[in-house]
Amino acid sequence: MALRCGLVGLPNCGKSTLFNALTKAGAQTALYPFSTIDPNVGVMEVADERLDAVAGVTRPKAVVSAAIEYVDLAGLVKGANRGEGLGNQFLAHIREVDALLHIVRAFQDPQVPHVDGTLDPVRDIETVSYELLLADLETVAKRQEKTSRKLRSGERRYQGEVEQLKALEALLGRGVSARHAGPEAGRGGVFEELFLLTAKPTLYVVNVGEKTTAPEEDPLFAATAAYAKGQGAVVIAVPAKLEAELVELEPADRGVFLNELGWAKSTLPDLVRRSFALLDLVTFFTVNENELHAWTVPRGTTAPAAAGKVHSRMEKGFIRAEAVDWSDLVRAGSMAAARESGRVHVEGREYRVKDGDILYFRFNP
């Protein structure tokens, strides 16, 4: 499982520009064969200073970072739900991602037309959300038809599903995304089978111009941030074009270029970190003399399931795991020293993997 993030937004808001910046930034050290991936999918390695620290102690021959796949989607337009623009085919692509980066335009550029004529990121968020809501309402309606048929033919157990679908329909009808569903409409039950578009964790990315070096003072960014806050959503300002230019430079020249334009640092590491946080993932590491490898799993994953990420045989034959926090290993200086100081704990099948764990799996091969 590589985490998949889809870039959505109106045409010309800067999705492809940001995509290029993200995936080229990742390509520098990437171990992934880009040529075999769909041109609209790119892999970005996740920089993780814990990996460097552990590698300093364990000296592996290779280090494999965790990765995020970014999917550059076509621009969404009004009426996508009725098949306009790329319509339904496009909506199907959104269904396949784990999370959404919803990009809105806040940059001024007379050369780049805006589909609605003016700059208004909050309006743009609502335009796109409305299309996603319509698509979800259709999904719910289709399922309602099916469920009511079953109910009529006497299968009483579908009564609960009917109630849940009604509650979901009412929620979406009020313009509320499925990810904000309360207990009666969602999670669990039929909710999980619908793969609703508005159920996906969403991060708002405001594409500010390269001149907007203090985004919090920018009225367009501030308005978007206030809107996102009202939804409990995270928002981040990114100068997409500047980031795309930055990755074309030699790493050594980037700092100077940024500082000349008044930016302290690239915004991309923060964007990547937040994409990760959005899905509530934890990272664990495996290490041997050959390789130090970072893996990501949802919070709450048990030790055998984590072992299964590494190899299915490790999950089937799981016996126990030895776990040590990465910082304890670094402080101890070696695995042997960490064991001696009692930092390594033995865990069984019920253990839930913690962020930053280094795990050694014992298994029956």
128: Cα separation from own chain's centroid = 18
For helices 15-27 and 268-278, the axis angle rounded to 10 degrees is: 100
Alpha carbon of 258 to those of 93, 203, 218, 246: distances in Å? 35, 24, 19, 8
Q: Which stretch binds ligand GTP (CB under 6 A): 107-115, 139-147, 288-296, 345-353?
A: 107-115
Q: If binding means CB under 6 A, how many residues of this protein chain bind ligand GTP?
A: 18
Write the DSSP assignment of 161-211 as a string of letters: HHHHHHHHHHHHHTT--GGG--TTTSSSTTHHHH--GGGS-EEEEEE--TT
CB of 222 to ligand GTP, least distance (A): 18
Q: Which stretch binds ligand GTP (CB under 6 A): 177-185, 223-231, 236-244, 298-306?
A: 236-244
Judged by CB under 6 A, the residue of 52, 96, 109, 163 near ligand GTP is 109
Kind plus residue range of the DSSP H or E element containing 326: helix 326-332
- Is the Cβ of residue 34 or residue 195 nearer to Mg ion in the bound state? 34
CB of 35 to ligand GTP, least distance (A): 22
| Cβ proximity of 224 and 107 under 8 Å | no
Q: Which stretch binds ligand GTP (CB under 6 A): 106-114, 139-147, 215-223, 280-288?
A: 106-114
State yes or no: residue 22 binds ligand GTP (CB under 6 A): no
Handedness of CA 256, 262, 268, 274 (dihedral sign): positive
- Is the Cβ of residue 161 or residue 243 nearer to ligand GTP in the bound state? 243
Q: How many helices (H) and strands (E) does the chain have?
A: 14, 12
Give the total residue count for the chain.
365
Judged by CB under 6 A, the residue of 75, 186, 304, 308 near ligand GTP is 75
The entry of ligand GTP, Mg ion, none that residue 1 binds, CB within 5 to 8 Å by partner kind: none
Q: Which residues bind ligand GTP (CB under 6 A)?
A: 9, 11-17, 74-75, 107, 109, 112, 207, 209, 239-241
